[in-house]
Amino acid sequence: MNDIKKKRKPMVFIISGLDPSGKAGFILDSVVVDRLGGDAAGMTSAITVQDLEKGYDFYSIAEELARAVISQILAQINPDAVKIGMMPVLDSAEYIVSELVKLKCPVVWDPVLQTSDGLPLVEPNDIHRIFEVLAPVVSVLTPNIPEASVLFHTDDEHLDEKFLRKMVERYGFDGILL
């Protein structure tokens, strides 16, 4: 009798916003992980109020709730990777980093700063501080061009390969994917 061991699927811990349309955020991230053959666990960082065409508002998850969810989930799983999306407030980012440094896995951050129609999804005073807090644990940064311009304090036309290599070196990323 063949005793074939079932191979464990890679576990991805997702921290991202909940877009009720399912077209982005936690729902879409979970679907992508599943379709790539992995298992997903995680928490939502915020809930957006939007439809298929427009964003109206968002509500951040309270830091106390974020702490409770993360501590319970990470007590039972050892993720192979972490994927971060929308991170709207500094307090949650600081706590999340304190937990991520304990993990020995790559962290991908897609710094979602606004909806496609322009609704800000990060407290404006926190954008650069959140970046500075998260950057040390991020392996791969995946901003779009406008997000990269904001995070790196530069104009879109300066986001060439040479500039991005400097940012990789400055922040210790393994890579930046625009």
Locate the domains of the chain by residue range. Answer: 11-137
Q: Starting from the edge strand earliest in sequence, which strands make up the sheet with 140-141, in order? A: 55-60, 39-50, 11-18, 81-84, 107-109, 140-141, 175-176
Question: What number is the average pLDDT over the span 49-70?
Answer: 92
Per cent of the chain over pLDDT 90 is 83
Res 3 pLDDT > 60:
no
11-137 topology per CATH: UDP-N-acetylmuramoyl-L-alanine:D-glutamate ligase (3.40.1190)
* Model pLDDT, residue 1: 47
pLDDT tens digits, one per residue of 77-86: 999 999 999 9
Question: What number is the average pLDDT over the span 51-58?
Answer: 92
pLDDT tens digits, one per residue of 117-130: 899 999 888 999 99
